[in-house]
């Protein structure tokens, strides 16, 4: 069977030309992406079957910061939809010859690119591209700001495993201050009706975070019995200036997920981690590979979420 547009239904009309973050998306728009991702799971028979709905669309991956999961996932997602992809990495490019970020993107766009996926260490970099390019822009992580597709895949995983988001209590644990994953999750989860607790060393939890509508905790053991899902954020050493806690061993002791903590938590606790995971820091191997962990489900769902986002933006761009 060749799938057609008729096989794909969108829950609500899609108006956005770009996907820059979850802060400005409505609950309905977020649900539209999650529902479409579920449909792609069926249409691609779990993500493996190739579709043709984006034949003739070109997706450029512009990554100015390292990535394993996100870049590969966008690449495979685009190809699963029948699109062509082009990969750009900052190292080895003409950036070293003085070309600006925007000129580099305009050059690549001029080769017939319809959608640009951008990762950059500077917050707001994809927003800048969105102002200059005709192509639709997807934020694949901008510094400490947002990482919308990561939060969407986290929410899809929770929804698939627990059947809902509304009414759940989700703890985001670790380096809240430097985490774009935390910020996107906070916006998305609150919009879908979850209770969100952020937990970490006081130095890594900005005081102003409560303005977003989350609760703050500094003791993981105290909150664990109330929590349905725990999302273990990596300590972003590459974004930190200075020491935020005395030692990795102390961090792991206070905020790492281990077998003892799992035994004190709710029976059905879901353990998420955006990756890359550092075994022995945010979580022990026993937890990472144990029955509560949905880390590899998150990776598989990332493909479906990125298919949904690429599809919606490509259709908005008239493809
Ligand atoms: N991969 C995620 C990101 O790019 C999480 C991390 O790096 O810790 O933000």
Going along the chain from its start, the domains and CATH numbers come out as: 5-147+299-316 (3.40.50.1370), 148-298 (3.40.50.1370)
Ligand 1 pocket, 178 CB below 6 A?
A: no
Q: How many other CB atoms are found less than 10 A from the CB of residue 301?
A: 26
Ligand 1 probe mutation, 148, 276, 281, most atoms within 8 A of CB:
276
Residue 1: per-residue pLDDT? 44
Q: Ligand 1, closest atom to CA 180?
A: 9
pLDDT-derived band at 4 (thresholds 50, 70, 90) equals low
**Is the distance from the beta carbon of residue 287 to the nearest atom of ligand 1 less than 6 Å?**
no
pLDDT of residue 116: 97
pLDDT tens for residues 302-311? Answer: 999 999 999 9
Which whole number is the average pLDDT over 19-47? Answer: 94
pLDDT at 94: 72
pLDDT band at 7 (very low <50, low <70, confident <90, very high): confident
Q: How far is CA 52 from the centre of its chain?
A: 25
Ligand 1, atom nearest to 68 Cα: 1
pLDDT tens digits, residue range 261-298? Answer: 999 999 999 999 998 999 999 999 999 999 999 999 99
Please tell me the predicted confidence (pLDDT) of residue 187. 98
Q: What is the pLDDT of residue 45?
A: 83
When pLDDT is cut at 50, 70 and 90, the band that residue 2 belongs to is very low
Q: How confident is the model at residue 5 (pLDDT cuts 50, 70, 90)?
A: low
DSSP notation for 125-157: HHHHHHHH-SSEEEEEEETTS--HHHHHHHHHH
Closest CA to 69 of 273, 299, 297, 290: 299
Comparing 306 with 8, the larger pLDDT belongs to: 306
> Which pLDDT score, from 0 to 100, does residue 22 have?
98
Decide which of 310 and 237 is more confident: 310
113-to-17, 55, 56, 273 alpha-carbon distances in Å? 14, 13, 10, 32
Model confidence at 95: pLDDT above 80: no
Q: Residues 63, 64, 69, 72: is their CA dihedral positive or negative?
A: positive
The residues pairing with 173 across neighbouring beta strands, listed in sequence order, are 199, 232
Q: Does 180 contact ligand 1 (Cβ within 6 A)? A: yes
Reported as a pLDDT band with limits 50, 70 and 90, residue 89 is confident
- Mean pLDDT of the region 153-168: 98
Q: Is 87 helix (H, G, I), strand (E, B) or coil?
A: strand
- Residues making up the binding site for L-aspartate: 97, 180, 234
| Distant-in-sequence, close-in-space partners of 243: CB < 8 Å, separation ≥ 6 | none
Q: How far is the CA of 8 from the centre of ligand 1 (A)?
A: 31
pLDDT of residue 244: 83
> Quick one: average pLDDT of 5-10?
76
pLDDT tens-place string over residues 210-223: 999 999 999 999 99
Average pLDDT, the chain: 93
292 Cβ closer than 6 Å to some ligand 1 atom? no
Q: Say what the pTM is.
A: 0.95
The residue ranking higher by pLDDT, 91 or 63, is 63
Q: Phi first, then psi: what are they for 165, rounded to 5°?
A: -115, -40
Nearest atom within ligand 1 for CA of residue 233: 8
Residue nearest to atom 1 of ligand 1 (CA): 275
């Amino acid at each position: 069977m060749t799938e057609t547009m008729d096989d794909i239904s969108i829950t609500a009309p899609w108006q956005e030309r770009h996907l820059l973050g979850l802060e400005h998306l409505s609950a309905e728009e977020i649900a539209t992406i999650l529902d479409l991702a579920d449909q792609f799971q069926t249409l691609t028979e779990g993500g493996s079957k190739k579709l043709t709905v984006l034949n003739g669309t070109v997706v450029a991956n512009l990554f100015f910061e390292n990535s394993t999961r996100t870049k590969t996932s966008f690449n495979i997602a685009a190809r699963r939809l029948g699109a062509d992809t082009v990969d750009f990495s900052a190292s080895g490019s003409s950036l070293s010859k003085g070309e600006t970020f925007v000129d580099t993107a305009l050059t690549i766009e001029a080769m017939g690119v319809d959608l640009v996926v951008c990762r950059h260490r500077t917050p707001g970099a994809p927003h800048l591209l969105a102002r200059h390019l005709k192509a639709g822009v997807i934020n694949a992580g901008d510094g400490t700001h947002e990482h919308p597709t990561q939060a969407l895949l986290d929410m899809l995983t929770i929804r698939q495993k627990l059947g809902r988001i509304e009414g759940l209590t989700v703890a985001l644990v670790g380096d809240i201050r430097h985490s774009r994953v935390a910020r996107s999750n906070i916006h998305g989860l609150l919009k879908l009706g979850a209770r969100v607790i952020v937990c970490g060393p006081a130095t890594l939890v900005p005081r102003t975070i409560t303005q977003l509508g989350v609760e703050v905790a500094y003791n993981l053991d105290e909150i664990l019995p109330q929590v349905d899902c725990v999302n273990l954020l990596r300590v972003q050493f590459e974004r930190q200036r200075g020491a935020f806690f005395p030692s990795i061993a102390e961090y792991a002791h206070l905020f790492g997920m281990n077998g003892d903590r799992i035994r004190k938590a709710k029976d059905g606790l879901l353990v998420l981690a955006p990756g890359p995971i550092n075994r022995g820091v945010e979580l022990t191997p026993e937890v990472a590979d144990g029955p509560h962990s949905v880390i590899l489900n998150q990776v598989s769902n990332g493909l479906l979420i990125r298919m949904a986002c690429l599809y919606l933006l490509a259709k908005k761009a008239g493809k």
